[in-house]
Amino acid sequence: MRCGYAVNHAPTISVRELGAETRFQNVFQEFDVDRFLSTLWVRAQTAVHTELKARGYDVSEFEQQAQNIVNNMVHITGGAHNSVIAAGKGARANVTAPPARMGAPKSRTD
């Protein structure tokens, strides 16, 4: 304390903040953020649902609204072998059909 006043000796910005990028460096970082936020939302929704139900409230409408939100967040599990997936606002996926398979070539007997 100086002259009866508290003095703030902390830096206004940290070294970590100074070195941080303002944008994602690759798409996986954005996916990680989406995944973490989705996990936090589901955990918060579960906690609210459990507490409301434990206190005797009717949670049927809450469950429906929560399910609608979960359905709008795309969760893909399992394999996506040779598949094209697009999700999110304005997402597009282009699919190129493979060439037709005509079966085994026929042998010529002249």
Q: Which residues 6+ apart lie within 8 Å of 18 measured at CB? A: none
Q: pLDDT tens digits for 78-93?
A: 555 555 566 666 666 6
Residue 39: domain span: 24-72
Q: pLDDT tens digits for 32-46?
A: 988 898 888 889 988
Domain-embedded: residue 37: yes
Contact of 5 with 11, CB cutoff 8 Å: no
Choose among 82, 105, 108: nearest CA to 93: 82
Domain-embedded: residue 52: yes
Domain-embedded: residue 36: yes
Extended strands (E) in the chain: none
Domain-embedded: residue 58: yes
Give how many domains the chain has, as a whole number: 1
Split at pLDDT 50, 70, 90, the class of 95 is: low
| Long-range own/partner contacts, residues 83-91 (CB < 8 A, 24 or more apart) | none
